[in-house]
Amino acid sequence: MSETAATPPPVLSIRDLKTYFVTGAGTARAVDGVSLDLRPGETLGIVGESGSGKTVTSLSILRLIPEPPGHIMPGSLIEFEGRNLLTLSPAELRAVRGNQIAMVFQEPMSSLNPVFTVGDQIAEVARVHLGLSKPEAWIRAVDMLNQVGVPDADARAYEYPHQLSGGTCQRVMIAMALMCRPKILIADEPTTALDVTVQAQILELLEKTQADMGMAVMLITHDLGIVAGAADRVVVMYAGQVVETSATRDLFAAPLHPYTAGLLASVPRLESGRGVLKGIPGSVPPATDWPPGCRFHPRCPHAWDRCRTEEPPLLSGPRPGQSARCWLVQEPARRKPPAP
Amino acid sequence: MGGAWLIRRIAAAAAIVFAVTSLTFVAIHLAPGSPFLPPPDRPVDTAVVARLNRQFGLDRPLPAQYVLYLRNLSRGNLGYAFSRGQSVRDALGTALPNTLLLAGTALALDLGLGLVLGVILAARARRTTDVVLSNVTLFIYSVPAFWLGLVLVFVFADWLHWFPPGFTSSPGLSDSLPFLGQVGDRLHHLALPALTLGLVGAAGTARYQRAALLETLGREFVRTARAKGVRERRVLLVHALRNSLLPLITLAGLSLPFLLTGSVLIESVFSWPGMGRLATDAVLARDHALVTAVAIVASALVVTGSLLADVLYAAADPRIRERAA
Amino acid sequence: MARPTLALVGATVVTIAAVELLRRRTQAQGSARRFFAHPGGVWGLRVLMFFAVMAALAPLIAPYDPAAQPGIVTLQNAPPSWAHPLGTDAYSSDIWSRLIYGGRVSLGVALLATLVAMTVGVTIGAVAGYARGWIDAVLMRLVDIGLAVPRIFMLLLAVAYWNRIPLTLLVLLLGLTGWFTTSRLVRAEALSLRGRPFVDAARALGASPARVLIRHLLPAALAPIIVSAVLSVGNVMLLEAGLSFLGFGVQPPTPSWGTMVADGQAQLALAPWTSFFPGLTIAIVVMSWNAVGDALRDAFDPRPEHA
């Protein structure tokens, strides 16, 4: 990682994370050597298609991977406040979860317990971590609901998840996450299950609270549009690996990795008029069977022999903070001109 | 909860009981052999048989008997149990409480033990404890209840002499005991039969609970609870269990047929004077009134049990409460 | 004693070989692979196959004639010994031999009765779910009534008609009292199928309801039906054993495991093995049916967390 002396140390550091799943069909190497940094106060977007490993990466941070089929391999390191999260005792880990690092999930309705009121569920965080009594925690919970923009919070707190809309449920999840003013908020596809208008509201809420609390946000999504608006830096993932890291503006202006370029090209634009939608040919290979060499080579228009045999490491690109897992960074001449 | 919904359910339940009553009535009356058929080695004057038939209205056509029966039923008159020389009311009066006592105790044991065991199995899922205990549970679930009863009788009554081999109380002795002594004596006699039924039931409940709990543990809100930093024990016992307790209510309501079936066999093993014994004797003797009455009571119990389960489930699950309202 | 023992060993070998052969032959199927990954299910299959082979080869494996009463005074209620591995009963018959022959009856009755129940249940469920309307309503009320009365009471009532119930009739009665849950299951599948557009398309092309049901419903519902059937065989075995125990089921002198337990009840204190071994056998076989049923259920409908 190229960092100048002026940048503050990252609040979260992932080094060589490997999370594998043992299935009947073989071992799925869902996350296969991922390294990234999260800087204090920034919003880091993690982008990728389904199967890229982005969700598994986010779940691995708080060790929420179901253990029988899944295993976080030894040798992986996730450093937070000088400690490796992966080697914490269960009690120490629990002290971090929901307290210093909080998480928001994709399906807000199913992520909430159907038989408890939302007020109880939010209050629970305060009772577990802040030692508050039931009435005290309830007051805090209602206050939090207010802060996340739920109208008539006193009444809403007594309701059950199924009585609320998706957007409200997501606000509840965010309220739960923010109760202890965490240093990091991991948001795994927080708006994917919501309507477009609600999406915008939730993103706005996240931005506002981040500004208020100064926390770092890890925003996982497949939607480049969200990334463009919300993220400071972007990490692009493919086939269990990080394939490009960049500041948002640089990523959209001049993507290094052909996959990123492909993703950008496949987003339809109003100005481009009618034409054929450009997808990336082929499909994501199964995690049990990554291709040899560069994992993207079967779908890459620029691929040559080296790509098929040698797996490229993350190579630093021209701009600061930019890197890509692609031989084109070393041999830019091989880049073929875009098809008309 | 919706009053209309409740009334509809009760009406449906009543209809089923009525249908069962009618079908049983017809069936038992069409059965070959009559209550007064004398054994072949002791012929009785046919005139006597005819007179008895006339006396109890058995010579009238079936529809007329049916109407008469219903009319009596509405007045609370369940008829006369020929084979026992007492009114059906009295026969049921002694037998039903005995069966309810046995089944009720067994149900309590079933649910209590089954729930605890199910939770333990789910908490230790796939580890050695689970593998061993799950197989033991499967074995007990597969065991014929009457055989288990015999095994328990042999071990605890015939061999260890800790418990009596049968009956509800010590014949002769119990009347002379003070009240507490009588209660103790009854409990002493209740232990083995209730344990037999309860163990087999608990095995089934535990299996079900384990599966339900494991399924709940795979759901997303459990992941959220863990992500909040809630300790694993609370995740299991509060977050997950509350969700999988609901089906247990239904399971309890549906346990009644199993308990009644079990009581027929267990009562035979332990000479327990309950409805099961009553039913078997009545069927053998072609005692019309008694058989019909037993069928009514049995189906009423089953139907009430499932109705109660539905009501409790609706009361407990906030989602259903909304829909029914 | 040499030849029966040899035959027994032979039966064991055949069983293990047969299961292995089955495993190999079905390797290609995902559901078969999942089934064989369940140790409980595989053991259950082995046990069931063993008892099936034993029942088939009964004359070869049983060392004594099950009806023989060689020494009613001297040999009755003898504890297990080399000559009689499971002891003798009150009539001095060898329990092991009676167990083997009894298996024919107990297993046979349970299997045939389940077949009857499944046939009736599938038919009625399919008709009800497909036809809907008043046919469905009537049939389902019938099912409600059937479920309201505990099965054993129904059987007692039916058994009242005959003094000594013939075996075929027993099978039929057991089957006719056990189809209710299956019919609900099949009805649910039929209802969901009915709503699909391709059914209307097929009907528009002139396909008769029967054809739609057989060609489309059955394959879809096959997995849950099989699981339901396997699990219910165990239940029927317990029910037959119970009835025979009370004297209403299989009639003497035909040995069934249930009647053997009943026979042993009178001398429980002095010769417990007479009731113990038949009952234990029932438990083991029913347990095997349940284990196979569980494994099949997981094999057909795999869920990530399932053990």
Going residue by residue through chain B, which has 325 residues, state the pLDDT in tens, using 9 for 90 and above.
467 888 888 888 888 888 888 888 787 777 666 555 555 555 566 677 677 666 666 667 777 777 877 777 777 777 777 777 788 888 888 888 889 999 999 999 999 999 999 999 999 888 888 899 999 999 999 999 999 999 998 888 888 888 888 777 777 776 777 777 778 888 888 889 999 999 999 999 999 999 889 989 989 999 999 999 999 999 989 999 888 887 788 888 878 888 888 888 999 888 888 888 888 888 777 777 787 788 888 888 888 888 888 888 877 776 666 554 4
Residue tagged 């057991």 (tokens): C174
Q: Kindly indicate whether the domain formed by B97-279 is annotated with CATH number 1.10.3470.10.
A: no
**What is the mean predicted confidence (pLDDT) over A122-148?**
92
The structure tokens listed for B253 are 């309501």
Which residue, A115, A136, A109, is CA-closest to A124?
A136
* A76 touching chain B per CB within 8 A: no
Q: Which domain holds residue C221?
A: 67-306
Residue tagged 């549906």 (tokens): B254
Which residue, A231, A254, A257, A232, is CA-closest to A243?
A257
| Euclidean distance between CA atoms C261 and C280, whole angstroms | 10
Most confident of the ranges A119-128, B250-259, C246-255: A119-128
Write out residues 24-43 of C within 8 Å (CB-CB) of B.
40
**What is the mean predicted confidence (pLDDT) over C208-219?**
74
In a domain, C86, yes or no: yes
For β-strands A43-47 and A233-238, DSSP reports them as parallel
The reported pTM is 0.85
At residue A340, the pLDDT reads 57
The model's pLDDT over A39-51, given as tens digits with 9 standing for 90+, comes to 998 999 999 888 8
What confidence tier does C51 reach under pLDDT thresholds 50, 70, 90? Answer: very high
The answer on pLDDT for C49 being more than 50 is yes
More confident of the two residues A301 and C115: C115
- Chains A, C: CB contacts within 8 A come to 7
- Measured in angstroms, the CA of B71 and the nearest CA of chain A are apart by 48
- Measured in angstroms, the CA of C101 and the nearest CA of chain A are apart by 42
The answer on pLDDT for C306 being more than 70 is no
Residue tagged 């032959």 (tokens): C25
Residue tagged 């059914």 (tokens): C199
At residue B33, the pLDDT reads 60
* B6 touching chain C per CB within 8 A: no
Query: What phi and psi values does residue C151 have, to the nearest 5 degrees?
Result: -50, -35
Task: Please tell me which of the candidates A103, A124, A160 has its beta carbon nearest to residue B230.
Answer: A124
The structure tokens listed for A136 are 């005290």
In a domain, C15, yes or no: no
* C306 touching chain A per CB within 8 A: no
| Euclidean distance between CA atoms A245 and A315, whole angstroms | 10
At residue C90, the pLDDT reads 81
For β-strands A184-188 and A101-104, DSSP reports them as parallel
Scanning B31-127, the segments in alpha helix (DSSP H) are 46-55, 62-74, 88-123
Which residue, A6, A115, A27, A12, is CA-closest to A60?
A12
For residue C51, the one-letter residue type is F
Instruction: Output the domain CATH number for residue C99.
Output: 1.10.3720.10
At residue A44, the pLDDT reads 94
In a domain, C122, yes or no: yes
Task: Please tell me which of the candidates C33, C34, C304 has its beta carbon nearest to residue A69.
Answer: C304
In a domain, C38, yes or no: no
At residue A134, the pLDDT reads 92
* B146 touching chain C per CB within 8 A: yes
- Measured in angstroms, the CA of A117 and the nearest CA of chain B are apart by 10
CA torsion through residues B290, B292, B298, B300, sign? negative
| Euclidean distance between CA atoms C155 and C289, whole angstroms | 23
Give the rounded distance of the alpha carbon of A207 from its chain centre: 15
More confident of the two residues B85 and C42: C42
Contact C150 B257 (CB under 8 A): yes
In a domain, C258, yes or no: yes
- Give me the half-sphere count of Cα atoms (radius 13 Å) on the Cβ side of residue C210: 0
The model's pLDDT over A205-214, given as tens digits with 9 standing for 90+, comes to 988 888 888 8
Question: Percentage of residues in chain A with pLDDT exceeding 90?
Answer: 50
Task: Please tell me which of the candidates C150, C241, C265 has its beta carbon nearest to residue B260.
Answer: C150
Indicate the number of domains in chain C.
1
B13, B16, B22, B27 alpha-carbon torsion, rounded to 10°: -140
Task: Please tell me which of the candidates B12, B24, B218 has its beta carbon nearest to residue C157.
Answer: B24
Residue tagged 């009581």 (tokens): B263
Which residues of chain A does B243 touch, with a Cβ-Cβ cutoff of 8 Å?
Answer: 113-115
Task: Please tell me which of the candidates B221, B246, B317 has its beta carbon nearest to residue A113.
Answer: B221
Kindly write down the DSSP assignment for every residue of A218-276, as one continuous string.
EEEES-HHHHHHH-SEEEEEETTEEEEEEEHHHHHHS--SHHHHHHHHTS--GGG-S--
Most confident of the ranges A85-89, A336-340, C243-247: A85-89
Q: How many residues does chain A have?
A: 340
Contact C305 A24 (CB under 8 A): no
For β-strands A12-23 and A70-72, DSSP reports them as antiparallel
| Euclidean distance between CA atoms A265 and A248, whole angstroms | 16
**What is the mean predicted confidence (pLDDT) over A165-185?**
92
For residue B225, the one-letter residue type is A
In a domain, C210, yes or no: yes
Chains that touch C (3 or more CB pairs under 8 A): A, B
At residue A6, the pLDDT reads 62
C-alpha separations of A115 from A12, A98, A177, B318 in Å: 35, 21, 20, 7
Which residues of chain C does A66 touch, with a Cβ-Cβ cutoff of 8 Å?
Answer: 304-305
Number of other residues whose CB lies within 10 A of the CB of residue C102: 26
B251 close to B207: Cβ distance less than 8 angstroms: no
Domain ranges across chain B: 1-83+285-325, 97-279
The structure tokens listed for C196 are 């699909």
Which residue, B323, A47, B279, B94, is CA-closest to C155?
B279
Which residue, C149, B125, C180, B88, is CA-closest to A68?
B125
- Measured in angstroms, the CA of B56 and the nearest CA of chain A are apart by 58
Number of other residues whose CB lies within 10 A of the CB of residue C3: 10
Angle between helices C273-300 and C218-246 (to 10 degrees): 170
- Chains A, B: CB contacts within 8 A come to 73
Which residue, B158, B155, B122, is CA-closest to B137?
B122
Angle at C29 between CA C23 and CA C34, to 5 degrees: 70
3-state secondary structure of A34: strand
For residue B201, the one-letter residue type is G
- Average pLDDT over chain C, rounded to an integer: 85
C-alpha separations of A24 from B130, B200, C155, C305 in Å: 22, 35, 46, 13
Number of other residues whose CB lies within 10 A of the CB of residue B42: 6
Contact C269 B141 (CB under 8 A): no
The structure tokens listed for A146 are 């207010």
C-alpha separations of B293 from B15, B250, B260 in Å: 16, 26, 15
Which of A55, A116, A179 to mutate to test binding with chain B, by most B CBs within 10 Å of its CB? A116
Contact A64 B230 (CB under 8 A): no
The model's pLDDT over A253-311, given as tens digits with 9 standing for 90+, comes to 888 899 998 888 877 776 666 667 777 888 888 888 888 889 998 888 888 888 888 88
Which residues of chain C does B200 touch, with a Cβ-Cβ cutoff of 8 Å?
Answer: none
A78 close to B212: Cβ distance less than 8 angstroms: no
Contact B221 A124 (CB under 8 A): no
Which residue, A8, A16, A47, A21, is CA-closest to A32?
A16
- Measured in angstroms, the CA of B33 and the nearest CA of chain A are apart by 57
C-alpha separations of B307 from B6, B9, C86, C148 in Å: 9, 7, 48, 11
Residue tagged 């309503």 (tokens): C137
Which residue, B307, B250, B270, is CA-closest to B194?
B270
Which residue, A228, A264, A318, is CA-closest to A45?
A228
Q: Quick one: B216 exposed, middle or buried, by C-beta within 10 A (0-12, 13-18, 19+)? A: buried
